[in-house]
Amino acid sequence: MRAEDPRPVRLVDYRPSDFLIDEVHLDVKLDPTATRVTARLKMRPNPEGDASAALALDGDELTLISAAIDGVTLAADALDVSPASLRIANPPRGPFELEIVTEIDPTANTRLMGLYRSNASYCTQCEAEGFRRITYFLDRPDVLATYTTRIEGPTDETPLLLSNGNLVETGDAGDGRRFAVWHDPHPKPSYLFALVAGDLGVVEDEFVTMGGRTVALKVFVEHGKEDRASHAMESIKASMRWDEQAFGREYDLDVFMVVAVSHFNMGAMENKGLNVFNDKYVLASPETATDGDYANIEAIIAHEYFHNWTGNRITCRDWFQLCLKEGLTVFRDQEFTSDMRSRPVKRIQDVRNLRALQFAEDAGPLAHPVRPEIYHEINNFYTPTVYEKGAEVIRMLKTWIGDAAFRAGMDLYFDRHDGEACTIEQFVACFAETSGRDMTQWMRWYGQAGTPDVEVTTSYDEAARTFTLEARQSTPPTPGQSTKKPVVIPLALGLVDPDGRDVDLVVDGAAAGPVFALQAETTRLVFEQVARRPIPSLFRGFSAPVKVTSDLTDDHLLFLAAYDSDPFNRWQAGQTVALRNLVASVAAVREGGEPIDEPRLADAIGRVFAPEETDCAYAAQVAALPSEGDVARELRSDVDPDQVHAARTALKAALRRRLAGPLAAAFERLAETGPYSPDAASAGRRALKFAALDFLAAGGEPDGVARAHALYRSAGNMTDRVMALQALSLHAGPEREDALDDFAARFGGDPLLMDKWFVIQASAPLPGTLDRVQTLMGSPAFDIGNPNRVRSLIGAFGSSNPTQFNRPDGAGYDFVAGVALELNATNPQVAARLLGAFRTWRALEPTRRGKAEQALRRIAEAPRLSPDVADIVRRALAA
């Protein structure tokens, strides 16, 4: 009998498990198509569960060979078994040992969940529900056990046998096979289990913890790629040191391992002591990786490492609490990067990313709270809302209660809950205690979806020398939540006087701020002793994930762009002026007119290309105009991506005309001189050089295109090469094709580098792009079984090419829908991810909206939809 479909799952239905597993003893005999897994589970009834309950274990596409309790094989009639579950009606009511033998086929596992093969290696991915594809289990995060894992495989194919914890024993198993036994003393949920076996190269180092323990560090990569692993290794050491210094957290095993694999559904996975990584986020050398790759590797290594405390030592009670580990760990990796590189630049990048992905999600049909209350497929909730908005909520908490109470709250959380599976309530309670604040209203950040709008109006009373600021908050309806309540919004505020200096903030006769909590629908703040009308600098450092509208004029904003002491808001002020201009231009283009000129923007942007500018990374952020997606979101509805593209292209061309001299000078001044170094300052210079090049080549200007082509031809590192190629790729012509051919000829043998080539072509806003993408799917470098290839070609087309994905004839939608349907059968998680391209379809103008809906309906009506794909299309189409 098949188990009843467990979906949907609701937070309110949470019940503790009826049984607990204290120890797991796994014995895995590797075979390409018939791997034998014997699991001996030391179990007992949970005192908090139902004492008369049956034992119901989860499975997924499993074949049972045998089951025994306390050494006695269970007869067929004592079991109710299917590939998806194993039920024992009358298990012992005291401690017992359950032994289960299953057989699995790693080679046939194209879903890349559970045990699968990547090239010649074996590896696992168990989060969220992959362990049940290895053996029948209580596959839920609140069942914590210690694991002892014996792995056996052919010595020639799998000389390397890895699992979680510390290595206990290795030896010859006879018959040309060897074995290894690993023991992980830290109780953990099944989703953190990992096994890797194969023939890999290794780079080794060590780290001495603050407590004086020496930890062996190992990074495993394909043979021949060891020279590309040193940046990952340095990043591990930096992460370990930082977590000790910033949070007092020490590593807790004898060894920490990272393995790079080619086939991976996401970025990386924090399995205890054995992080498995997408090779894209491990391998780097100046010739093969861009500055962006170096930064991503550092950040993702850090993120997975930080999970050792926030996720592994303290895990989630159930999957609704996912942000407990993900939002918090993103916050921690953001802080790490801020300390390693530039804090303002990191903040700007994170906010750009938040707006592009999370604000877009929040404004569309897939909007959901940071802690969802219902899911049909948990893998679809590893979202920008859970991760990035989840991190913003932590950041706001710190801003609101202050650094000291925040740090004390973190310490309390680690002390109190180490070794437990927790809820958001337990986490927040720690901060209520250390800050003395009532957290009732705060909890709305976790339960209420949607991006709050904050409308600010100001007035100045010259006679009374008071400045009044009124803020109104409202959150728009989202699916399933028609009305919203006010949330606690920390407003970090500055009042800038006409000389560009911050005014002292005085409220009710006393020094106040700079953070004010907006808790009611309308908050009025009256500042006293203000001698001259100031310009308010609102939400400094982006102190809350909200959309702000204010009565600030463009003149006020341009003043802030030049003088605000807060670097984030200097950047933001310029962006707001540019965004207003772009929105006005779209309206003009729509009426058949010309884009609106804004000469003052050229002054603001021109400043950052001047020779005096020393913070190039920051300058590059100032120079980068709001994206087409930013403009589309600002329009909110009836979006025509061609008009948006036209407006933005026109603004770029206008800036080039005004700034041609300074741009060319900056481009030349920033040319690479010494050997490549990936450090933040050098990367910043390259970013600014690229910003100059992007303007110089705007509109296909021959001089700019020639410069890009020359840079491509002379590039001495991958960053210059990719930047030049990207600038060329926007403009049809012989230079573009020459560079693309050259890139393929040079790097055709390296799949990760061909991914860059795919992304660049798939993102080009040119009419032939869809044909090109379809042709490239047939090229030898493409492989639909590898998620990196799919994301680089089809994913980039769907999510980074507004004009071509949204072709008015609907061909872009049909194409992405078709690929998603193809992948639905083989890798549902990747298929569902691709459909993220449709997250804003309702905001389109009617013709495109109609075509997008048709494509979604075609998927919805297709037979045999996976839960992953069915869930996304159902929510995307729900009215």
Q: Which residues are catalytic?
A: 304
Report the nearest approach of Zn ion to the CB of residue 661 (Å): 47
Distances (CA, A) of 330 to 71, 293, 355, 429: 46, 18, 16, 20
The dihedral through the CA atoms of 191, 257, 105, 55 has a sign that is negative
Q: Name which of residues 288 to 307 contact ligand B3K (CB under 6 A).
A: 303-304, 307
- Of residues 27 and 388, the one with the C-beta less far from Zn ion: 388
Q: How far apart are CA 560 and CA 565, in angstroms?
A: 8
Q: Collapsing DSSP states into helix, strand and coil, what is residue 710?
A: helix
Report the nearest approach of ligand B3K to the CB of residue 62 (Å): 20
Q: Name which of residues 271 to 330 contact Zn ion (CB under 5 A).
A: 326, 329
- Of residues 303 and 347, the one with the C-beta less far from Zn ion: 303
- Of residues 302 and 753, the one with the C-beta less far from Zn ion: 302
Q: Are 264 and 278 in contact (CB under 8 A)?
A: yes
Place of tokens 């930047």: 723
Q: Name which of residues 351 to 380 contact ligand B3K (CB under 6 A).
A: 379
The answer to whether 382 contacts ligand B3K (rule: CB under 6 A) is yes
Size of the site for Zn ion (CB under 5 A): 2
Residues 552-576: b if buried by 16+ CB within 10 A, e if exposed? bebebbbbbbebbebbbbbbbbbbb
Q: Are 492 and 543 in contact (CB under 8 A)?
A: yes
What does 769 bind: Zn ion, ligand B3K, none (CB cut-off 5 to 8 Å by kind)? none
Give the CA count within 13 Å in the CB-facing half-sphere of 378.
Answer: 19
Q: How far apart are CA 766 and CA 764, in angstroms?
A: 5
Q: Collapsing DSSP states into helix, strand and coil, what is residue 61?
A: coil
- Of residues 378 and 488, the one with the C-beta less far from Zn ion: 378
Q: Which amino acid is at 542?
A: F
Q: How far apart are CA 152 and CA 175, in angstroms?
A: 11
Question: In the structure encoding, which two tokens stand for residue 270, read together?
Answer: 């924090």
DSSP designation for 478: B
DSSP designation for 5: P
Question: In the structure encoding, which two tokens stand for residue 791, read together?
Answer: 């994301």
The answer to whether 142 contacts ligand B3K (rule: CB under 6 A) is no
Report the nearest approach of Zn ion to the CB of residue 199 (Å): 29
The answer to whether 269 contacts ligand B3K (rule: CB under 6 A) is yes
- Of residues 58 and 326, the one with the C-beta less far from ligand B3K: 326
- Give me the numbers of helices (H) and strands (E) for the chain, helices first please: 29, 34
Report the nearest approach of ligand B3K to the CB of residue 848 (Å): 30
Report the nearest approach of ligand B3K to the CB of residue 439 (Å): 25
Question: In the structure encoding, which two tokens stand for residue 565, read together?
Answer: 């002491």
The answer to whether 326 contacts ligand B3K (rule: CB under 6 A) is yes
Size of the site for ligand B3K (CB under 6 A): 12
Strands 145-154 and 19-29: parallel
The 321-360 contact track toward Zn ion, x by CB under 5 A, reads -----x--x-------------------------------
Q: Look at residues 181, 130, 120 and name the one whose alpha carbon lies nearest to residue 151.
A: 181
Binding range to ligand B3K, per CB under 6 A, among 140-148, 268-276, 332-340, 426-434 = 268-276
Q: Name which of residues 468 to 507 contact Zn ion (CB under 5 A).
A: none
Report the nearest approach of ligand B3K to the CB of residue 266 (Å): 5
C-alpha gyration radius of the chain:
28
- Of residues 266 and 869, the one with the C-beta less far from ligand B3K: 266
Report the nearest approach of Zn ion to the CB of residue 260 (Å): 17
Q: Look at residues 716, 711, 744 and name the one whose alpha carbon lies nearest to residue 728.
A: 711
Q: Name which of residues 452 to 481 contact ligand B3K (CB under 6 A).
A: none
The answer to whether 128 contacts ligand B3K (rule: CB under 6 A) is yes
The answer to whether 261 contacts ligand B3K (rule: CB under 6 A) is no
Distances (CA, A) of 855 to 254, 576, 813, 825, 845: 52, 35, 6, 18, 16
What does 361 bind: Zn ion, ligand B3K, none (CB cut-off 5 to 8 Å by kind)? none
Report the nearest approach of ligand B3K to the CB of residue 548 (Å): 29
The 774-803 contact track toward ligand B3K, x by CB under 6 A, reads ------------------------------
The 437-456 contact track toward ligand B3K, x by CB under 6 A, reads --------------------
- Of residues 269 and 604, the one with the C-beta less far from ligand B3K: 269
Q: Look at residues 54, 48, 40 and name the one whose alpha carbon lies nearest to residue 17.
A: 48
The answer to whether 270 contacts ligand B3K (rule: CB under 6 A) is yes
The answer to whether 266 contacts ligand B3K (rule: CB under 6 A) is yes
Q: Which residues are near Zn ion by CB under 5 A?
A: 326, 329
Q: Which residues are near ligand B3K by CB under 6 A?
A: 127-128, 266, 268-270, 303-304, 307, 326, 379, 382
